[in-house]
Amino acid sequence: MSISGRADEPHLRGSLALSRGRIDRAAERRDDDTWLAAAWRAPQTLVLVVDDGSVAVGADGASVRWMPPADVDESADRLLLGADVDGRAWFAVAGAHPPDARAAGLRELGPLLPDDEAGLVVHAIALVNWHAAHPCCARCGTRTTIAAAGHVRQCPDDGSMHFPRTDPAIIVLITDEQDRCLLGRHPAWPADRFSTLAGFVEPGESLEQALAREVREEVGIEIATTRYAGSQPWPFPSSLMLGFFATATTTDIQVDGAEISEARWWSRDDVVEQVGSGKLAFPGSASIARRLIEAWFGGPLPGAPG
């Protein structure tokens, strides 16, 4: 696997929507109860309430509505997202949005938010998702308690520590020797929706092995060379998408019918024509899938972002 390609090979251009944050996560503060208590009381501190993967949208529709700690349920577990050099801290809590709030998730908000706010929201939603799905000890079943400002759960019975889970998944844009790209459709998707192939990395498997296996299983294609493109968290609920470009050595498609019900090779002309006639639509602009397809296409895709 090579990570540097030739100039004429496709590359992701610009930042991925959910990979933009640069806020210091302040990991060294997570066990400092004195600092955490003071940060929670500080007037500049901001709290993000996460409710089932959604956050409250700001008045401009392209920001999130932060809360002062005083307006947040005192009993909620405080998850530290980070702090900056000016002494501002950001926290997340799980809870309900104010009745007047409009709520949205990352598929909608991700591409609209400023860089650092996007990073904070991805961190918050991923962390809240993990706590919601992992309330008990995986060893003994006892309810665990939150530690390290939300970045650990600890079992009060056997002392075991449990860390936030991230599930690696490969996602790949495959081209053939005519520079056509392979896009497939999941059986549950709308009839016009096509995307790159993707799948979870299995235990004991390298990324290269996962790529070859997923592509073979889903469409019966063999790939020769793979090149790393980039990655972004995809907290629906806990994935990390690892993007690649790959070159196929075979072109005869055999879909598995389970993960992929339909797949074909597309030229750029095919894409323009099929989008124009309403037979082809792509994933939304928050997704790395869309960005991989754009990298191959050579610019923004025709049609409205899904």
Q: Which residues bind Zn ion (CB under 5 A)?
A: 137, 139-140, 142, 155, 157-158
- To Zn ion, the closest distance from the beta carbon of 163 in angstroms equals 14
CA 104 to chain centre: 15
For residues 54 and 144, which CB has a smaller minimum distance to Zn ion in the complex?
A: 144
DSSP 8-state class, residue 301 = P
Strands (E) in the chain, as ranges, are: 46-50, 55-56, 79-83, 89-94, 103-104, 145-147, 152-154, 161-162, 167-175, 181-185, 197-200, 223-234, 239-248, 262-266
For residues 28 and 157, which CB has a smaller minimum distance to Zn ion in the complex?
A: 157
For residues 143 and 279, which CB has a smaller minimum distance to Zn ion in the complex?
A: 143
For residues 144 and 274, which CB has a smaller minimum distance to Zn ion in the complex?
A: 144
- To Zn ion, the closest distance from the beta carbon of 165 in angstroms equals 16
Cβ atoms of 154 and 225 closer than 8 Å: no
- To Zn ion, the closest distance from the beta carbon of 282 in angstroms equals 45
- To Zn ion, the closest distance from the beta carbon of 130 in angstroms equals 17
- To Zn ion, the closest distance from the beta carbon of 160 in angstroms equals 5
Three-state DSSP class for residue 59: coil
Three-state DSSP class for residue 132: helix
CB under 8 Å to 104, separation ≥6 — which residues? 54, 55, 57
CA angle 172, 222, 225 (to 5 degrees): 60
Return the sign of the alpha-carbon dihedral for residues 82, 84, 87, 88. Answer: negative
Return the sign of the alpha-carbon dihedral for residues 196, 14, 284, 82. Answer: positive
For residues 44 and 145, which CB has a smaller minimum distance to Zn ion in the complex?
A: 145
- To Zn ion, the closest distance from the beta carbon of 159 in angstroms equals 8
For residues 1 and 161, which CB has a smaller minimum distance to Zn ion in the complex?
A: 161
